[in-house]
A = this chain, B = another copy of it.
């Protein structure tokens, strides 16, 4: 179980470990002959470089820590996919930590990453997080950090997200174009910028199209099928009922669809529905779900790009960067009255 080190190679060849190290990393001042024999011997002895030692020495681990709320949602899986592949291409590994949507675990994750001396941290904020000091702390320590999707603008931390405002605006616009004119909104937790931006987009779109903007038409949900169902139930108790709804994400929209179906309301004829996220299932349900695509893989790649640049630049002259990806409207059956 004893592993081969550069010392073993050095002993074998009667040279020093330093030479071996240099030969293996193709140092220009090493003769090609030495390089050749060192590499051959390394292969023969089945040497594998100890990155832990190398990291201790160099101060770099080549590891990016990624905090996601949960791996059970394909949205994050898909972003991870993007991050991971971009990281691989650039010689980085990816350490994953799940916050399970809890602030406490999120803090633990940050701690774990700091102790592991990751070169940078990418995070998507948990639903339950109200206090953001752990993120500020990372920043103060000059450890590169950036947010993806769920971010907070007040911390001076860069982020990648899609233009949530515009996504919601486009969603409303899509419904308006189909002739719906009393449009409700089912929201997520508003202390997360991502979600409050969507509400803002919704409101502005209503105003832009001179439609009623009624506080009763905004349901404060929590990102779940159940929240979609509850919202519909509530909306249909109103005197002045809506004839369409935008949901903060697809599962919420799915809940709405299911409730509407049980209530015997025809979608899209009597009532329009549009989601957000472009989750896989939306294409395959009936009626298929119109939605806003979030460019998840691209988001992952951009997130890596952001952190990669933060890692390789002087922390001094870095300003906060905000990458905003364009949302893509996907029109399917649930919003298509015509």
**Interface residues in chain A, defined as those with a beta carbon under 8 Å from any beta carbon in chain B:** 1, 48-53, 55-56, 61, 63, 70-74, 76-78, 80-81, 84-85, 88, 93-98, 100, 105, 108, 111-112, 114-117, 142, 254, 258, 280-281, 284-286, 315
Q: Which single residue of chain B is at the shortest CB-CB distance from A70?
A: B81
**17 extra interface residue pairs, beta carbon distance < 8 Å, beyond A48-B111, A74-B280, A85-B98:** A50-B117, A63-B95, A63-B116, A72-B74, A77-B77, A84-B96, A84-B97, A85-B100, A88-B108, A93-B95, A93-B112, A93-B116, A258-B284, A280-B281, A284-B285, A285-B286, A286-B286
A258 to B112, CA, bound (A): 46
Q: A81: which B residues are within 8 A, CB to CB?
A: 70-72, 98
Chain B residues with CB below 8 A from A84, complex form: 71, 96-98
Complex: how many Å from CA A49 to CA B63?
17
Name which residue of chain B comes closest to A300, CB basis: B71
**A80 contacts which chain B residues (CB < 8 A)?**
71, 96
Q: What is the CB-to-nearest-CB distance from A60 to chain B, in angstroms, rounded to a whole number?
A: 10
In the bound assembly, the distance between CA atoms of A88 and B97 in angstroms comes to 8
Query: Measured between C-beta atoms, what is the minimum distance from A97 to chain B in Å?
Result: 7
Cα distance A72–B80 in the bound complex, in angstroms: 8
Chain B positions within 8 Å of A108 at CB level: 88
Residues on B with C-beta less than 8 A from A116 are: 51-52, 63, 93
Bound-state Cα–Cα, A115 to B91, Å: 12
